[in-house]
Structure 1
Amino acid sequence: MKRILTAVVLIAVVFALIFFGKLWMITLCAALVAELAAYEYLQLASVGAEVHGAKLRIPVWWMTLGTALAFVVTLPNFPVEAQLPVLSALTLALFAWNGFRAPLIQVLPDTAQGLFGLLYIAYPLTLVPLMWKQEDGPALLLFLMVCVWCGDIAALYIGKNFGKHKMAPRLSPGKTWEGAIASVLGSVIAGMAVVWISDVLTARGNLILHIAQPVWQSILLAIQLNIAAQAGDLLESAIKRGAGVKDSGTMLPGHGGILDRIDALLVAAPVLWYILLMKDYFGLGRF
């Protein structure tokens, strides 16, 4: 029951932000989620280091500041070129901090893990407000979220009840090929439902969910997003298994941690962004 209630509340909040929120609201909420996920990442990295007899030395203040700055430089007042210098400055700051405080053998691993945390968590979530403010941004984000969510639900229930062939037992013993196939189908069906609703609303003159691309492109996009989402789920499992824990945290009743809920999105969102860039570069039209 806790799992269902938590899911309902989270879905309601996301839908409200997509259709009724402002850019600053979406940016703030994405940044808050990133901060919480980054904190969980630090805990996982710390536990993983202890497993190997080391102590992680990534200061919380650095991760908090770095995650916040990742969102700040995406605001309209900042040029796109500001992102790389800020990331470089943060990396050098952590490098210097570890260089003078940590055992020499830990300088490189700790700095690398800190930088990875920003690239793995903060950067993908900065794409959420960036996509929302694109033309037809709300429809774009809804398509992304629905494909990720419904694929996950289909994989959970079909894999649990009918799954027999293990997909990646070293990373996630519960994942099966039956669940993976059901996940792809779930994303495609959900994505087509969004397209159908878009067509109905557009025919009535309501462009809130306007989707311009052909149906075949939407089907292909749903498949690509699902594959990316499943990869994101497995990769987060690899981090947790390396740390010897089941969940990334306990912030969400019935769901584990924040990182457990957004692991698929952390890979699917960049993949969607790259696809949009390629569509624009090759003149394949907009979403």
Structure 2
Amino acid sequence: MKRILTATVLILAVFALIFFGQLWMITLFSAIVAELAAYEYLKLAAVGAEAHGAKLRIPTWWMVLGTALAFVVTLPNFPVEAQLPVLSALTLVLFAWNGFRAPLIQVLPDTAQGLFGLIYIAYPLTLVPLLWKQEDGPALVLFLMVCVWAGDIAALYIGRAFGNRKLAPRLSPGKTWAGSIASIVGSMIAGGIVIAIADTLTAHGNTLLHISEPIWQSLLLAAILNIAAQLGDLLESAIKRGAGVKDSGTMLPGHGGILDRIDALLLAAPVLWYILLLKDYFGLGRF
């Protein structure tokens, strides 16, 4: 019951932001989620380091500042090119901090883990407001979220009922090939429903969910996003297995941690962004 209630509240909040929110609201919400997930990441990294007899030295202030700046430079007053210089500067600051304070053997791994945290968590979530402000952005973000959610639900229930052959037992013993295939199909079906609703609304003069690309492209995109989402889920499991924990945290009743809920999105969002860049570069039309 806790799982269903938590999921319902989160889905309604996301839907409200997509359709009724403003850019600053989307950015702020994404930043808060990123900060909470980054905090969980620091705890996972610390537990993993302790398991190998080391002590992680990524300052919390650095991760908080770095995550916040990652979102600040996505605001309209900053060019997209500002992200790389800011990321480089943050890395050098952490490198210098560790260089003077950490044991020399820990300087490189601690700096690398801090940089990875920003690339893994902050950067993908900065793409959500960037996607939302694109032309037909609300439809784009909705399509992304629905594909990720539907695939997760299909994998959970079909995998439980019919799954026998394990997908990646070393990373996630509960995931099966049946659940994985069902997840792809579920995302394509959910994506098709979004397209059907969008076409119906557009036919009646409502462009709230306008989608211009051919339906076959949208269904292919749904499948690609699902595969990226499944990979994101498995890779977050790899981090947790390495740290020897089951969940990234306990912030979401019935669901574990924030990172557990957004792991799929952390790979699916960049993949969607890259696909849009490629479509634009080769003149293949927009979403």
- Could you tell me the TM-score, scaled by structure 1's length? 1.00
AA matched with 2:190? A
Deviation for aligned residue 1:85: 1.0
Structure 1 residues 148-167: aligned runs within 5 Å: 148-167=148-167
Deviation at 1:81, TM superposition (A): 2.0
- Give the aligned partner of residue 125 of structure 1: 125
SS at match of 1:173: strand
1:80 positional shift: 1.8
Partner of 1:177: 177
Number of residue-to-residue matches in the alignment: 287
Q: Separation in 2 of the partners of 1:81 and 1:123?
A: 13
Question: Quick one: distance in 2 between partners of 1:206 and 1:89?
Answer: 45
1:191 is matched with 191
* SS across alignment from 2:216: helix
User: Post-superposition shift, 1:201?
Assistant: 0.3
Residue 56 of structure 1 aligns to a residue whose secondary structure is coil
Hey, what does 1:3 align to over in structure 2?
A: 3
Unmatched tracts of structure 1, length 5 or more? none
Aligned counterpart, 1:12: 12
Whole-Å Cα distance in 2 between the matches of residues 87 and 241 of structure 1? 28
What secondary structure, in the 3-state scheme, does the structure 1 residue paired with 2:57 have? coil
Tell me the alpha carbon deviations over residues 250-277 of structure 1, each in whole angstroms, 9 at most, x when there is no partner.
0000000000000000000000000000
- In 1, distance between residues paired with 2:10 and 2:80? 31
SS at 1:264 equivalent: helix
Distance 2:80 2:271 in 1: 19
Deviating above 4 A after TM superposition, structure 1's stretches of 4 or more consecutive aligned residues are none
Consecutive unaligned residues in structure 2, runs of 5 or more? none
Indicate yes or no: 2:264 matched with 1:276. Answer: no
Other-structure match for 1:241: 241
What letter matches 2:24 in structure 1? W
Distance, in Å, in 2 between the alignment partners of 1:85 and 1:4 is: 42
Alignment partner, residue 76 of structure 2: 76
Post-superposition offset of 1:6 = 0.2
Match of 1:23 in 2: 23
> Which letter maps to 1:284?
L
State the identity %.
84
Query: 2 CA distance for matches of 1:2 and 1:109?
Result: 38
> In structure 2, what is the equivalent of residue 93 of structure 1?
93
CA distance in 2, matches of 1:81, 1:221: 26
* Code of the aligned partner of 2:167: M
Q: Matches of 2:159 and 2:80 in 1, distance apart?
A: 42
Amino acid at match of 2:157: Y
CA distance in 2, matches of 1:83, 1:142: 25
